[in-house]
Amino acid sequence: MSKMSWVYGLHTVQALLENEPERVLELQALSTREDARLNPIVQMARQLGLAVAFRERTALDQLAEGGRHQGVLARVRERQPGDDNDLAELLDNLTEPALLLILDAVTDPHNLGACLRTAEAAGVHAVVAPRDKAAGLTPVVRKVACGAAELVPFMQVTNLARTLKQLKEAGVWVVGTSLEAGAKPFFETDLKAPTAIVMGAEGSGLRRLTAELCDHLAYIPMAGQIESLNVSVATGVALFEAVRQRKH
């Protein structure tokens, strides 16, 4: 039986209704909220034949468990993350050079949500993360992602090192973010070919084996005195450098 969960936030719920309405079971909306952002979502749900219940704010607050629900929640069948087989199938079906985001043991759900949001905006084909010792899809992640968690494929793999080897065998270049000697600036790294950009964990960066398996190491040049960026911010810089290169 599919696991159920509450997903909240205007963007997240709208993305679900537009892209995977079969997963949505019902909506709960704020009874006192009448505005241009919520009403179209309610109307869309009704057109899809979904039940919409109106509740007081305290009831919605309890369902969201402290999250900022923005006046709307949806009870959904949770989508299970993909795995190595799903990733291989996705790559086989691509008609353009792959752009993948690999998160090497990112544990903060807010960072994962932000990375998913950025990945979707950059047109990333899939986000890949280890199954263990890393953040997975949770209501908090979905909310921070503002709908991107329902749009960009998310793959959890058992052995990240093995997955990186498989990607390389499939013709995908693996580019890791690192300040190690020999790393080149991202802006001097060719990201037009099929590429997987690997971001390290908060604080510790790439694990040793992960770094060793990368074809190239790259860094973001910093003009100020701070030596590093938050992983979600660094992800945005790296991914949109790939987007920039591919448009020229």
Residue with tokens 């019902």: 26
Question: How many C-beta atoms lie closer than 10 Å to residue 180's C-beta?
Answer: 11
For 23-57, the DSSP string reads GEEEEEEETT---TTHHHHHHHHHHTT-EEEEE-H
Q: What is d(CA 177, CA 183) in angstroms, rounded to the nearest whole number?
A: 8
Binding-site residue positions for S-adenosyl-L-methionine: 200, 220, 229
Residue with tokens 């971001």: 199
In 3D space, the residue among 248, 168, 180 whose CA is nearest the CA of residue 218 turns out to be 180
Residue pair 81/154 in contact by the 8 Å Cβ criterion: yes
Strand partners, 8: 73
Binding-site residue positions: 200, 220, 229
